[in-house]
Structure 1
Amino acid sequence: MEKLNDIIFYNIDKAIKTYRMYAMKKIREKGYKITTDQWLIIKSILENPKITQQELAKNVFKDNASVTRIIELMVKSNYLNRKVNTTDRRKSVLSVTKEGKEIIEKVQTIILENRKEALEGIDKAELDAMNVTLKKIIQNCS
C-alpha cells in the first residue's frame, strides 16, 4: 500500500495548505488583517468587475455560503461595497472600495516575497513543467 507522502494529490494539497498558512503568517507579521481568501476575492473582482457571486465562488474554490460570509466581513471592513442589482434584485453588484484597493497594493509586495521564498531553489524549467502538468490534471478532471 502506498504511503500518503507518495501520493501526488496529497502532496499538492499539503503544499497549498502549507503555503497558505505561511502567507497568512507573513501578512499578519506586517500588521495587515486580510486573509488570503479575502485577497483572492478582491483580486477577482478587480480583474472582472461584473463577476457574479457564483462565479466568484468558483474562482476562489469556495462554496456560495463561504463566499457570502467572507463578503459580509469585507463589507464590514470597508474593503467592498455591495449594492442590489437593479435588474435582478436577487443578485448583488460588488465593487472594491478605496480601502480595498489600498490593502491589495500594500499586501502585494508581501505576496511577491512569499512566492519568491516558497519557490526558492526551483528553476524556471521545473516551474514550467509543474504548471503544464497541473493544467493537464485540471483538464483531465474538468
Structure 2
Amino acid sequence: MFDLGNMPGHLIRRYHQAAVAIFHREVAQFGYDLTPVQFAALDRVQESPGIDQITLAGLIAYDRTTITGVVDRLVQKGWLERSISVRDRRARVLHLTDEGKQVLTVIRPAVKKAQRVMLHGLSEVEADQFVRLLKKATERVNELSRAPLKPET
C-alpha cells in the first residue's frame, strides 16, 4: 500500500487543484471568467505581440494541439486577435485587443493575490524556498513533459 500523503505526484495534483480554485475565486471577484492557462496566454501575447500560436504553446508549456482551443476562447471573448502571418502563411499570429489589454490591467492584482493565497501557510522564507525548489524540480523534468517549456529564442 502506498502512502499517498508522501507521494510528490499526489501532493502536486492536490496543490494544483487548490491553486486553480484560488485563481478562479480571485479573478471572479473582478467579474471575469478566465483560467490560469488563458491568463498565461494573454500575458505572453502582451509580452510578445505578433507571436505565433506554436511559439506561444512552448512559452507557456502547453500542448501544441490544444493551444488552438485556448486561443479560440480568447478570440471569442474579444481579448485576442488572430491573423495569418505575413512571414509564414501557415502560421497564425496573435495580438491583444484593447479589451484584452484592459482585462490584464484589471485582473493582475487578483492574480498577484492568488499567488500569495496559494502560499498562505508558509513563512516568507519557506515560500521563497518552496518556489525555488518547485522551479528546480520542474526544470529538471521539463523535457519529460508532453508539453515542455520552450523559451523564446
The TM-score, its normalising length taken from structure 2, stands at 0.81
Report what 2:86 is aligned to. Answer: 86
Report what 1:57 is aligned to. Answer: 57
CA displacement 1:46-94 (0-9 Å, x = unmatched): 1222433122223333222321011112112110111111121000110
Report what 2:134 is aligned to. Answer: 134
| Pairs aligned (count) | 142
Instruction: Check 1:17–1:74 CA distance in 2 against 1; reply closer, same or farther (3 A cut).
Output: same
Cα deviation for residue 29 of structure 1 reads: 3.9
RMSD over equivalenced CA pairs, Å = 1.8
Q: What SS is found at the alignment partner of 1:63?
A: coil
Alignment partners' CA distance in 1, 2:95 and 2:45? 7
Q: What SS is found at the alignment partner of 1:65?
A: coil
Report what 1:101 is aligned to. Answer: 101
Letter in 1 for 2:128: D
Instruction: Please list every run of 5 or more consecutive structure 1 residues that lacks an aligned counterpart in the other structure.
Output: none
Report what 2:4 is aligned to. Answer: 4
Alignment partners' CA distance in 2, 1:3 and 1:55? 39
Report what 2:110 is aligned to. Answer: 110
Letter in 2 for 1:92: R
Instruction: Please list every run of 5 or more consecutive structure 2 residues that lacks an aligned counterpart in the other structure.
Output: 144-153
User: Quick check: which one's helix share is greater?
Assistant: 1
Alignment partners' CA distance in 1, 2:39 and 2:133? 26
**Equivalences for residues 23-38 of structure 1 within 5 A:** 23-38=23-38
Letter in 2 for 1:25: R
Q: What SS is found at the alignment partner of 2:120?
A: coil
Alignment partners' CA distance in 2, 1:14 and 1:50? 36
**Equivalences for residues 10-21 of structure 1 within 5 A:** 10-21=10-21
Q: What SS is found at the alignment partner of 2:131?
A: helix
Q: What SS is found at the alignment partner of 1:30?
A: coil
